[in-house]
Homo-oligomer: A and B are copies of this chain.
Amino acid sequence: MARRPTLEFWYEFASTYSYLAAMRIEALAQAADVAVRWRPFLLGPIFAAQGWNTSPFNLYPAKGRNMWRDVEREAGRLGLPPLTRPDPFPQNSLSATRAAIHAADQPWLVPFSKAVFDGAYAKGRSIAEPSAVAAILDTLGLDGPATLRAASSESNKGRLKLAGEEAKSRGIYGAPSFLTEDGELFWGNDRLEQALDWAAGNRPGAMR
């Protein structure tokens, strides 16, 4: 059996377009015969480094208004449930991201991540408090409180920090982002198809 190329999917639970990408990447990747490595990370430190203390969608109100309308439209187009807007936005994603980092290489990383996104953007639930994250873990048949304790260990915190440093060093400045094995970076849900094409070896024209 031929080795499938891998695409890294870098996502942030507080990111609306990461939600859209998370809900469609599996089917598209399967069709493209590309494996996906889910890479949770925190955008906060990257935004802070460029002088932003919150989402650019809050800092620039016209941009923010159109983002909400756009995500509503795109969710409708993709057949997703009507969008619910997290309040406050962005949600504090620290607990959920720690749990996702702890889940690396575990079979529950993807269902957990999709459940967090679904809670925030389709069910209108908070995903910020540790108790909310524990409840999501419980619904997946995991021990929520014990998982959160493990996710709060110093070694797991270190892995989360390392993921952020890796994101920055690889040129990531927003979410979702897609990275191919040869280091090609694609930013935004709108580039998922192009990233999969690139990973699968379908390059436009003379591009290398």
A contact residues vs B (CB 8 Å cutoff): 50, 60, 62-63, 65-66, 69-70, 72-74, 76-77, 79, 82, 168, 171-174, 184-188, 190-191, 194, 198, 204-207
Contact = CB atoms under 8 A, between A and B. Distances in A.
B194 A62 contact: no
Contacts of A194: 73-74, 77
A69 B187 CA distance: 11
A198 B173 CA distance: 31
A128 to B, nearest CB: 27
Contacts of A79: 205
A79 B204 CA distance: 8
A76 B208 CA distance: 11
Contact of A172 (B62, B82, B185, B188): B62
Given A69-B185, A73-B194, A62 B207 contact: no
Given A185-B66, A186-B70, A77 B204 contact: yes
